[in-house]
Each structure stands twice: as structure tokens, then as C-alpha cells.
């Protein structure tokens, strides 16, 4: 009887953990940049390849296939957005918003609105190229190990 309890408990626990892990992976998937355009809408935009690869955009080893993938159009507060990604050798090389129309009459205003952007697509810089560094306020102690400290030390 005790064995029965132990085995059942182990099986139940494993099942529960697996279910939790599965739904957790789902949460991570919907958080990809492609669906981020949907402002939290859970309807999946883009192919699963887009979701999977986007989470590892830096390393870019998730999607093996090369080519261009187009996501489904999702309604966002900015209007309908459709995202196209180009994958090359397992790395996302380009992300384009195919359609960015606006349903309300604020289309002019959103021209400077913040939109999802891949890390690969932001203005890049190495710490050797910059003259100063901005970050969330660091304490005096944390400063010692910061990049800014390295810059300051180099310029003494």
C-alpha cells in the first residue's frame, strides 16, 4: 500500500510538473518580439519558427531552415501589424513590419512611438566606441565594477 502511495505520488507530481513546464514554455513563446507587437494579445502571430528563433535572436541557433517567414496580421493598439522575418543559417537576419496602419486617427502621432525592435536591429556600439555610459542608477559600490568605471579609469 505504501508503495502504491509512493508511485502514485511520484507519477502525479511528475505529471503536474510537466504540465506546469509545458504551459511555462508556452508563456515564454508568446513573449517573443513578434507577438510583442500584439501588446500581449495571445493570438499567435508569426510562425512557430519566428517565436522560437526570436527568443534566441542573439545566438540564432533555433531555426535551422533559411528563408522568409511571414506572420499572420495581428491587431494592436497601433493597428494591424504583420511581421516578416528572414532567417539565414538559423539566424534571424531581418525583421520587417509589413503593415503598420492605424485604425484611429492618430496615425501621425504614432510615427515616433516605440515599437518592438530586435536586439540585432538597434544602433550598436562597443564600449570602446562610446565616451560615456548610461544605465540604471548604480550605487557607489556597484560603480566600481561598472563599464563607466572602466572608461573613467582609462581617461585619468
- Within residues 22-81, the interface with another protein by CB under 8 A covers 23-25, 27-28, 31-33, 36, 39
Question: Stretches 8-16, 41-49, 63-71, 79-87: which one binds another protein (CB under 8 A)?
Answer: 8-16
Q: Are 135 and 124 in contact (CB under 8 A)?
A: no
Minimum distance from residue 153 beta carbon to another protein (Å): 4
Minimum distance from residue 37 beta carbon to another protein (Å): 10
Interface residue with another protein, options 64, 68, 72, 146 (CB under 8 A):
146
Q: Are 43 and 51 in contact (CB under 8 A)?
A: no
Q: What part of residues 98-117 is at the interface with another protein (CB under 8 A)?
A: 109, 111-117
43-64: burial string, b at 16+ Cβ within 10 Å, e else:
ebbbbebbbebbeebeebebbe
CB-wise, 13 or 72, nearer to another protein? 13
Q: Are 151 and 132 in contact (CB under 8 A)?
A: yes
C-alpha span between 85 and 96 (Å, rounded) = 6
* Nearest residue to 57 (alpha-carbon basis) of 38, 37, 40, 34: 34
Minimum distance from residue 56 beta carbon to another protein (Å): 10
Q: Are 2 and 81 in contact (CB under 8 A)?
A: no
Q: What is the largest CA-CA distance in the chain?
A: 75
Does 118 bind another protein (CB under 8 A)? Our answer is yes
Minimum distance from residue 110 beta carbon to another protein (Å): 8
Minimum distance from residue 18 beta carbon to another protein (Å): 8
Question: Stretches 2-10, 45-53, 61-69, 82-90: which one binds another protein (CB under 8 A)?
Answer: 2-10
Amino acid at each position: 500500500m505504501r508503495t502504491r502511495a509512493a508511485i502514485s505520488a511520484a507519477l502525479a507530481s511528475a505529471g503536474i510538473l510537466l504540465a506546469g513546464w509545458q504551459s511555462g514554455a508556452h508563456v515564454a513563446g508568446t513573449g517573443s518580439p513578434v507577438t510583442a507587437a500584439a501588446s500581449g494579445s495571445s493570438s499567435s502571430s508569426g510562425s512557430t519558427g519566428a517565436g522560437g528563433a526570436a527568443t534566441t535572436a542573439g545566438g540564432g541557433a533555433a531555426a535551422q531552415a533559411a528563408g522568409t517567414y511571414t506572420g499572420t496580421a495581428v491587431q494592436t493598439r497601433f493597428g494591424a501589424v504583420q511581421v516578416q522575418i528572414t532567417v539565414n543559417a538559423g539566424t534571424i537576419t531581418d525583421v520587417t513590419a509589413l503593415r503598420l496602419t492605424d485604425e484611429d486617427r492618430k496615425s501621425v502621432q504614432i510615427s515616433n512611438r516605440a515599437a518592438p525592435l530586435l536586439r540585432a536591429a538597434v544602433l550598436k556600439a562597443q564600449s570602446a566606441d562610446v565616451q560615456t555610459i548610461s544605465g540604471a542608477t548604480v550605487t557607489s559600490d556597484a560603480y566600481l565594477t561598472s563599464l563607466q568605471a572602466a572608461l573613467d579609469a582609462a581617461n585619468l
